[in-house]
Amino acid sequence: MLASTYQAGQLCSFGTHEGKLQVDLQPYPLAMGIAVGSRRVAVGARGLIWQLDAVGRSTASNIEPAGRYEAALLPRTAHVSGNIQCHEMAWVDDQLWVVNTLFSCLATIEPGYSFVPRWKPHFISDCHQPGDRCHLNGMAVDESGPRYVTALAETDMPNAWRGHKHETGVLIDVASNEVVSRGFAMPHSPRVYDGRVWVLDSGRGALELVDPSTGRRETVTVFPGYTRGLSFCGPLALVGLSRIRETSVFGNLPIANQKEELKCGIGMVDLRTGKQIASFQFAGGVEEIFAVEVLPGVRCAAIRAPGTNQGDSDEAEIWVAPPPSGDLNRLGDSASDQPVMAGRAG
């Protein structure tokens, strides 16, 4: 499982090995959205969208300590988007879609452009000028592509969403461009899963089910934290939990009354019963979680950040190269035949 925290600027990997929890943190400044695709992961960071490629299981197992990792995600390319406040992201086939919060639209990432606007809420007049008009932030995708989005208000002026954010959040159907449910307190992370629509009502710390035909909402459970970041694994939901800062952004939220009791970490709920069954909490250093994404079929993954393994870092650098076939013009046919080399240069 991966999680991002923009406040601490870290990409976190959670896994298990020999029955013990393994947690790895790597620096990605202002890390926010995470998109998990086939053998690749995209991470939105400060002004850049990084693509991390997966090496094969056989090569990942050679990373020290040998045998711990089933996969490794290594940074390969970065797209310069500029600081578009890139929130949630998702791969749709081979196309990366992003929630471009600064420009109040959904956009795709294309060569030659910072971003390409593809969709905007009907109440937004212009998505070619920056301004964060409604704080568009979350995106649910299904087999058709982007399906639902969340925004903090139906407003069309820069930062106008801040006025009554504790009650003006909306869930919008992308296909019809109609609001299907209103009254959320800073909603995030809409998802389509198991034939149902899920949303985090962040300012209330709640995981909710929404009936898009009526707008009716049902609270599944309430967590001791500002809920943001949602992923599923079978009958389980994994939810990011954050503490809140008493600022113009988080003031007056329903959970502000329990500010001192709020936790930062990952909560787990059994969807069959609605009961919270486990949690991971950061004792310090990390205050806010943004995205939570499951890596299907991976028990423990190694991750690296660009520019790490240098200077006084204790980690060995990782190189991946084709096998020594004798033909330098022939690259390996698959990631599984690429040997991994770990060491420290010089």
Domain ranges of the chain: 2-314
Identify the pLDDT of residue 38.
87
Q: Residues 229, 189: contact at Cβ < 8 Å?
A: yes
The string of pLDDT tens digits covering residues 31-77 is: 999 999 989 999 999 999 999 999 877 778 888 888 899 999 999 99
Would you say the C-alpha torsion 17, 21, 27, 30 has a positive or negative sign? positive
What number is the average pLDDT over the span 292-302? 94
Residue 217: its pLDDT value, please? 97
Weakest mean pLDDT among 62-66, 138-142, 228-232, 278-282: 62-66
Rounded average pLDDT over 181-196: 97
79-111: pLDDT as tens digits = 999 999 999 999 999 999 999 999 999 999 999
Judge whether residue 331 has pLDDT over 60.
no
Q: Is the pLDDT of residue 312 over 70?
A: no
Arithmetic mean of pLDDT over the chain: 90
317 vs 61 pLDDT, higher one = 61
Closest CA to 51 of 13, 84, 94, 102: 94
Query: What is the pTM (predicted TM-score) of this model?
Result: 0.90
Angle in degrees, CA 100, 148, 7, rounded to 5: 45
Average pLDDT value for residue range 283-312: 85
Position 336 confidence tier, pLDDT thresholds 50, 70, 90: very low
2-314 is classed CATH 3.40.50.1220: no
pLDDT band (50, 70, 90) for residue 342: low
